[in-house]
């Protein structure tokens, strides 16, 4: 193939095949490395020259890494793979890596992914697979202080799914569609579309210039869902997760976070069309199902690390929680205020209010209430239909009266 470069004739073939193996390992670890990228990586290495290790590293990095989060995976894979080119034939480096000093949990998870990917590569080659080391490493990725439970969702029947979809389709969030600066042709439009007018006019050589009109298009703002899955909410978590999955696949620009004692971004997992697979992935990824609640801390983390990335372009935030915070309420008050100030609209859905005589007595509830634009209490929340109905309800007295009661 002419596109393939000619690296040093003596060893070039080997290097190319090594880069290929490396790319395959990265792909298994979750980086989107296609054949095009592979060719490009080989070219980049050829241009930079394989003399310096760091140049080699950065050349591959420039081509194969597409986002900041992938840097860590690349880094680990690079170190594991190029430390010993015969990695795929022997497990020695893996043994060492398993006994290295304790790293932060997240890094461990990354490493686990990379190791698994490299091991999968090894399996492909039908080589021996050293299992104990992998287990050793995995054991380190759990933190002893918190009891993590993995969630199993009952699967939904086809009929339930269909009903859920209908309910979501009926749902009308109290969202004002935002005007964009894009236009579509519309005979009743406010503006004259000069380009279309001229084209129409030229048909009669400019004798008649029929005005063509256009109007602004609108679209819903981005939606950010922050959903509490702690113990006090565990009754509902299946329902909510089905809900967020349905919303995520129904609209564009939805980001979803689950929180209990820690915040997890599950948007990526929810992208999977099949609800059961999506839920399985979430069940595995989120580690604090039905644990305690630290709303303030989780919101703080959201504000620090995510708000700039997902709250752009006038996002609407849907906060689903009962507002029962076990932690310091001071933090919660500060962070909810900040969240409110950085989004277009904050809607709070509270499922705990099962009776009319609700009073905002819990300190957490009191802290949140002054900062929400729209308060949606839900009594008897049993189905998605109830949930969507609560969200679709016009922004009416419910919010106002409750807020005044709280005051």
Partner 1 sequence: MPDVCANPASVDATLRLLQDGDYVAGRGLATMVFLSLRLSRPILLEGDAGVGKTEIANVLARVLGRRLVRLQCYEGLDAAAAVYEWNYAAQMIEVRLAQARGDIDRESLAKDVFSERFLIKRPLLHALEPGLAGAPVLLIDEVDRADAPFEAYLLELLSDYQITVPEIGTVVAREPPIVVVTSNRTREIHDALKRRCFYHWIGYPSAQRERAILRTKMPEIEKRLGDEIVAFIQELRQTDLSKRPGIGQTLAWASALVELDRVELDPETVSATLSVLLTGRGDAARAGRGVVGDIVAKVKAGTTQATP
Interacting residues toward partner 1 by CB under 8 A: 32, 36-37, 40, 43-44, 47-49, 52, 54-55, 57-59, 61-63, 65-68, 71, 180-182, 194-195, 198, 201-203, 205-207, 222, 303-304, 308-310, 312-313, 334, 338
Provide the 8-state DSSP code for 371.
G
Provide the 8-state DSSP code for 314.
T
Instruction: For the CB of residue 34, give the shortest distance to partner 1 in the complex, in Å.
Output: 8
Instruction: For the CB of residue 194, give the shortest distance to partner 1 in the complex, in Å.
Output: 4
Residue 105 or 203 having the CB closest to partner 1: 203
Residue 55 or 389 having the CB closest to partner 1: 55
Residue 107 or 161 having the CB closest to partner 1: 107
In three-state secondary structure terms, 233 is helix
Residue 255 or 264 having the CB closest to partner 1: 255
Question: Which strand (E) or helix (H) includes residue 219?
Answer: strand 213-219
Q: Which two tokens stand for residue 199?
A: 């084209």
Provide the 8-state DSSP code for 71.
H
Side-chain-side CA neighbours of 369 within 13 Å: the count stands at: 20
Instruction: For the CB of residue 6, give the shortest distance to partner 1 in the complex, in Å.
Output: 16
Instruction: For the CB of residue 7, give the shortest distance to partner 1 in the complex, in Å.
Output: 15
Residue 34 or 132 having the CB closest to partner 1: 34
Rounded Cα–Cα distance for residues 302 and 104 (Å): 20
Q: How far is CA 206 from CA 191, 196, 327, 403, in A?
A: 20, 13, 73, 63
Residue 178 or 406 having the CB closest to partner 1: 178
Rounded Cα–Cα distance for residues 262 and 105 (Å): 13
Rounded Cα–Cα distance for residues 7 and 45 (Å): 9
Instruction: For the CB of residue 59, give the shortest distance to partner 1 in the complex, in Å.
Output: 6
Chain centre distance of CA 321: 19
Instruction: For the CB of residue 53, give the shortest distance to partner 1 in the complex, in Å.
Output: 11
Q: How many helices (H) and strands (E) does the chain have?
A: 18, 9
Provide the 8-state DSSP code for 288.
B
Rounded Cα–Cα distance for residues 267 and 8 (Å): 45
Instruction: For the CB of residue 273, give the shortest distance to partner 1 in the complex, in Å.
Output: 18
Which is nearest to 330 in space by CA: 301, 363, 303, 287? 363
Residues paired with residue 178 on neighbouring β-strands, in sequence order: 219
For residue 178, with 0-12 CB atoms within 10 Å meaning exposed, 13-18 middle and 19 or more buried, which class applies? middle
Residue 15 or 406 having the CB closest to partner 1: 15
Instruction: For the CB of residue 322, give the shortest distance to partner 1 in the complex, in Å.
Output: 27
Phi, psi for 320 (deg, rounded to 5): -110, 105
* DSSP conformation letters of 286-355: --BTT----HHHHHHHIIIIIHHHHSTTT-EEEEE-----SS-HHHHHHHHHHHHHHSSEEEEEETT--S
In three-state secondary structure terms, 216 is strand
Instruction: For the CB of residue 62, give the shortest distance to partner 1 in the complex, in Å.
Output: 4
Residue 92 or 200 having the CB closest to partner 1: 200
């Amino acid at each position: 193939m002419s596109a393939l470069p000619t690296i040093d004739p003596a060893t070039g073939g080997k290097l190319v095949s090594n880069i290929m193996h490396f790319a395959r390992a990265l792909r298994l670890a979750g980086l989107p490395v296609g054949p095009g990228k592979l060719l490009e990586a080989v070219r980049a290495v050829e241009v930079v020259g394989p003399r310096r290790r760091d140049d080699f590293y950065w050349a591959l990095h420039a081509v194969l890494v597409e986002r900041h989060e992938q840097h860590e995976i690349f880094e680990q894979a690079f170190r594991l793979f190029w430390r010993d080119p015969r990695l795929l034939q022997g497990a020695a480096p893996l043994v060492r890596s398993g006994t290295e000093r304790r790293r932060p949990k997240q890094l461990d998870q990354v490493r686990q992914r990379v190791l698994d990917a490299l091991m999968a590569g090894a399996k492909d080659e039908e080589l021996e697979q050293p299992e104990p080391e992998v287990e050793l490493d995995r054991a380190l990725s759990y933190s002893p202080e918190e009891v993590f439970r993995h969630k199993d969702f009952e699967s939904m029947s086809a009929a339930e799914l269909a009903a859920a979809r209908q309910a979501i389709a009926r749902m009308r969030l109290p969202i004002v569609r935002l005007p964009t600066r894009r236009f579509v042709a519309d005979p009743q439009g406010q503006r004259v579309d000069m380009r279309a007018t001229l084209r129409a006019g030229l048909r009669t050589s400019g004798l008649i210039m029929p005005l063509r009109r256009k109007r602004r298009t609108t679209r819903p703002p981005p939606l950010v869902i922050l959903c509490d899955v702690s113990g006090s909410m565990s009754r509902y978590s299946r329902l909510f997760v089905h809900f967020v999955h349905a919303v995520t696949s129904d609209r564009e620009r939805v980001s979803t976070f689950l929180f209990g004692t820690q915040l997890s971004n599950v948007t990526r997992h929810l992208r999977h069309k099949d609800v059961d697979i999506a839920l399985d992935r979430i069940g595995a990824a989120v580690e604090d199902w039905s644990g305690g609640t630290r709303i303030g801390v989780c919101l703080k983390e959201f504000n620090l690390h995510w708000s700039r990335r997902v709250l752009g372009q006038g996002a609407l935030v849907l906060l689903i929680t009962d507002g029962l915070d076990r932690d310091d309420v001071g933090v919660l008050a500060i962070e909810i205020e900040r969240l409110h100030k950085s989004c277009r609209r904050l809607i709070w859905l509270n499922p705990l209010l099962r009776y009319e005589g609700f009073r905002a007595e819990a300190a957490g509830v009191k802290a949140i209430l002054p900062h929400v634009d729209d308060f949606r209490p839900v009594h008897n929340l049993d189905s998605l239909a109830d949930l969507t109905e609560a969200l679709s309800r016009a922004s009416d007295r419910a919010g106002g009266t409750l807020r005044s009661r709280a005051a």
